[in-house]
Amino acid sequence: MLSKESKIRVLENFYGLDYIFFGKPLKEVESCCPLIKEDYLSIKGALLSVFVEMLKLVEHSPNPVGEHVRTSKLLEMARHGAINAREAARRVVATEKARRDIKLELRQVVEEGDKVDVSSLVETMIREKAFRLAVDNLLVARILSESLNMNALNTFEGRIVEDSYKVLRDNLCETANLILDSDD
């Protein structure tokens, strides 16, 4: 069973993910394809279910919240967390190592594909890498300092949870990109 504070963190992250990808709540995002938005919500729910399992596994123990958290405060916390996560991701994507990783991925895609719009592909790859890093920062980085048993992620069960998290995170980033691209 999660503590009240852990449940608040999950809800905060539910909204924070939208701010990472779109800079605003999903309901305010214009999209030509409502089915993509439904997919996004389904994947986000699945990701947060895995995240809840991760919280339980690592014995998440954040500082107690002394006050009642209203929706406006929750949204403010989500925006603030997303801004910090995006900034941290931006700094990492700008490193030489990240550039080498993106070039390697790009080379592999170009070698596999027939005809590829390289400039568009580079933009998409950079955006997806930044999104993955921002999601990791929002969801995982904070629990590193708020958990009692981070070594639990090194167990068999922990590796399964982590692998599931990564698959769902990547799917969520791809779906968010589809929504952003459909907005053009």
**Residues 8-53 pLDDT 10s:** 999 999 999 999 999 999 989 887 788 999 999 999 999 999 999 9
Residue with tokens 């599931």: 164
What is the residue range of 35's domain? 4-182
Q: How many CB atoms lie within 10 A of CB 134?
A: 27
> What are 181's two structure tokens?
């691209």
pLDDT in tens, 59-114: 998 888 777 888 888 899 999 999 999 999 999 998 999 889 888 888 888 788 76
DSSP state of 27: G
Residue 184: pLDDT band (50, 70, 90) is low
> How many domains, the chain?
1
Query: Coil, strand, or helix at residue 2?
Result: coil
Give the span between the Cα atoms of 64 and 50, in whole angstroms: 23
